[in-house]
Structure 1
Amino acid sequence: MKTVSCILAGGKSSRFGNDKRFATLNGKKLIDYALQVAFEISNDVYISTRHNETFEGYKIIKDQKPFLGPACGIANVIKEVSADIYVFLAADMPFVKKEHISRLIDAIDKKPIAVCYKQNNKLKTLPIVICDPDKEILKMDCSNRRILDLIENIGVKTIKTDNEMIFFNINNYSDLKEAEKILLYSKKI
């Protein structure tokens, strides 16, 4: 089955104050953490980005309209790229690893379906794997910006995890500093 990986990187970074995708964590740009995992999963990698951007050396899918949120980014990728399995990662979640994504892919048991994690009884919509070869998801409306609303009609399977680090995302400088401490002192990562 053809698998593509995509980094969702079209946000404003308004809480961060500047473009967090290029902020450095342990000497590496935030987006590079996601790109590393994306290429470990598939050689076919895309960046879903703002309508007016390019990323030299990478395949991109530009937002049709600016800042409509991750649900529209997902829908745009599925519309533009033909695949059986779509892997979506956030540009600001540096602790997602290949084994986290592989676990989601391995849980695919029907089509169409979206597979994501559940932690402490809360659905976590990123990272997410979507198996939708017939592009059923495109019948849904992405205008409300929520990933859950986009995927709920194709079916959602959850995988329970207690690993909260998977979902650690960088929204502001204090999150970035916390991530630096985690990398420095933790053996979980």
Structure 2
Amino acid sequence: MGEGPVFDAVVLAGGRARRFGGDKPGAAVGGRALIEWVAAAASGASRLVVVGPPRGVLAEAVHVREDPPGAGPVPALRAGLAEVRAPWVALLAADLPFLRPAHLAALLDAARARPGAVLVDEDGREQWLAGCWRTAALRDALAGYTGASLRGVLGPLEPAGVAPPAGARPPWYDCDTPEQLARAERLARRDGR
């Protein structure tokens, strides 16, 4: 990131993926595991923290598990945040094949005057697992939070919304079902990436 803020990245990769029916972060798009695409998008991070089971990729990452495994995104965020050392943190889902470093740079830039920033989709909905946050703000928000919803813990921080330019390969596109994975593969093939 050169001149941008120093940040770590926390990638949530331990969900049960009920609708997907398998190891979603390990599924491939464009010849690369989904989690590898996300790690590449966060290549400017000082530290990459993956919350979920080891998959034999991303040897440089710090791997942790939420307690108990599969407990949901809030316990996963707590586990990942415990390993963060930088003043900023990118909080990312492990299934975003079209997220790129430029998107994280835009999020970090938008977050400078706020506690954080998140991508918003074409309908204006916040994508809670595609955002950058002040580490201290996240820790404070989690300290008093007893709920199970990411929106519940992150929404009150009133993050800036970042709407990337419209296009066929939106950075917030996630692969929750086999059909969404197949569509991502078609988009990747069509664009040659």
For residues 101 and 159 of structure 1, what CA distance do their matches in structure 2 show?
Answer: 10
Aligned length: 182
RMSD: 2.2
For residues 172 and 105 of structure 2, what CA distance do their matches in structure 1 show?
Answer: 16
Task: Indicate if the aligned counterparts of 2:47 and 2:84 stay in contact, CA closer than 8 A.
Answer: no
Aligned residue in 2 for 1:152 = 155
Which structure features the higher share of strand residues?
1
Task: Indicate if the aligned counterparts of 2:9 and 2:91 stay in contact, CA closer than 8 A.
Answer: yes
- Distance apart, 1:121 and its partner CA: 2.3
Aligned residue in 1 for 2:174 = 169
Task: Indicate if the aligned counterparts of 2:10 and 2:81 stay in contact, CA closer than 8 A.
Answer: no
Task: Indicate if the aligned counterparts of 2:38 and 2:96 stay in contact, CA closer than 8 A.
Answer: yes
5+ unaligned residues in a row in structure 1: which ranges?
Answer: none
Pick one of 122, 126, 142 that aligns with 2:125: 122
Task: Indicate if the aligned counterparts of 1:114 and 1:129 stay in contact, CA closer than 8 A.
Answer: yes
TM (norm. structure 2) is: 0.83
Code of the aligned partner of 2:164: T
SS of 2:174's partner is coil
**Residues 1:118 and 1:23: Cα distance change in structure 2 (over 3 Å):** closer
For residues 83 and 151 of structure 2, what CA distance do their matches in structure 1 show?
Answer: 21
Aligned residue in 2 for 1:109 = 112
1:10-159 to 2 correspondences below 5 Å:
10-38=14-42, 40-49=43-52, 53-55=53-55, 57=59, 58-110=61-113, 113-119=115-121, 120-133=123-136, 135-141=139-145, 143-144=147-148, 146-159=149-162
Code of the aligned partner of 1:54: P
